[in-house]
Structure 1
Amino acid sequence: MPRLAVATRDDASLPASVDVVVVGGGLTGTSAAHELAIAGRSVLVLDAAAAGSGASSRNAGMVGRYLKYSFGELMEARGLDTAKSIFGEMQRVYEECIARIRDEGMDCALRMQGRVVGAVSPAHRERLYREWDLRGRHLGEAFRRLDEPRSEIGSRYYHGGVHIIDNAALQPALYADAMCRRAEAAGATIRSGCAVTGYVRERHGRFRVTTEHGNVVARDLIVATNGLTDARLPAFANRIAPINALMIATEELPGDVIASHWPQLRTYHDNRRNSNYMQVSPDGRRLVFGGRTGLHRSPTPQAAEALREEMIALFPALREVGLSHVWTGRCAVSADMFPHYGVSDGAHFALGYCFSGLAMAPYLGRRAARLLLDRDEGDSFFRHGALRPMPWLARQEALMPVIMRYYRWRDRPAPLAA
Structure 2
Amino acid sequence: MKFEIMRDRLLDGINDVMKAISQKVAIPILTGIKIEVNEKGLTMTGSDSDITICTFIPAEDNGEQIIKVAEKGNIVLQAKVFSEIARKLPTNEVTIEVVNGLQTHIQSGKSEFHLIGSDAEDYPVLPDVKDDYLFSLPSDLMKSIIRETVFAVSQQETRPILTGVHWEAKDGGLSCVATDSHRLARRLTVPEDMPDMPFSIVIPGKSLQELNKILPDNSESVDIVIADQQVLFKTRNVLFYSRLLEGNYPDTSRLIPSEYKTSIVVNGKHLLQAIDRASLLAREERNNIVRFSADDSNVIEISSNSPEVGKVEELLEATDLSGEDLKISFSAKYMMDALKAIDGQDVSIHFTGAMRPFILQAVGDDTILQLILPVRTY
TM-score normalised by the chain length of structure 1: 0.21
More strand as a share of residues: 2
Larger relative contact order (Cα-Cα within 8 Å, sequence gap ≥ 6): 1
Max Rg structure: 2
TM-score normalised by the chain length of structure 2: 0.23
